[in-house]
Amino acid sequence: MRKNARWRQTWFAQLGVSTSELLAATAITGLFVVVGVPTLNDARRSAALERATAQVHGLLVRSRAVAVLHARACAVIFDRASDGSWRCTVAEDGDGDGVRRSDIVSGRDPIVDSVVTLEAGGAGPGILGVGSIPDPSGRGTLGGDPGDPIRAGRGDIITFSSHGTATPSSVYFTDFNARMTVIRVYGGTGRINRLTWRRGWDAWRQR
């Protein structure tokens, strides 16, 4: 053991590094690792939030395009499973009475896009439980049921008409840590807008 210790000391000396310097460097490296872990987790949550928001945003954009192109209503339907996951379906009005859940089940309103499932446990539809959150409209604080992230009237259905108008809606997403995004659909124009908010901000910001 003493021979090995003397050998290590000699080897460090040849490198021009003392044992105390090596220990200090190791401690500093360990500190960087500890500090970096929250940063890495934050980046992962941010990426997951962006991915979930982009998936639903894409469905809404395509739904509006289909409605105008086919001259019939098209809608994105949100369903929440018992495990907390969300399922998003795009269906087209096949019988002229608007997109209805009963007509989707019967096949009269066909599904026209891939079904997107947002798994529970990661970033997805939700409202961050941090107290007062500013309203995306810029007026006051966000109200309503904090357990209801899909603000699209009754039925959690966002419908686009053949004229490009839509159900006025707001779909909220969160990383369940510090960030939120919202997709806002404007009724009169069908325009789709995305905003982001982070804990501590006094207003939502354009993405």
Does the domain at residues 2-206 carry the CATH identifier 3.55.40.10?
yes
- Better-predicted residue by pLDDT, 127 or 4: 127
In one-letter notation, the amino acid at residue 168 is P
Element (H, E) at 206: strand 205-206
pLDDT of res. 153: 79
- ∠ Cα 59 150 89 (to 5°): 35
Identify the CA nearest to 77 among candidates 99, 54, 50, 102: 99
Q: What is the mean pLDDT of residues 67-74?
A: 96
pLDDT band at 10 (very low <50, low <70, confident <90, very high): low
pLDDT of residue 35: 44
> Average per-residue pLDDT in the chain?
85
pLDDT of residue 9: 54
Average confidence (pLDDT) over 38-50: 83
pLDDT digits (tens, 9 = 90+) for 138-161: 999 999 999 999 999 778 999 999
pLDDT at 46: 87
Residue 42 predicted with pLDDT over 90? no
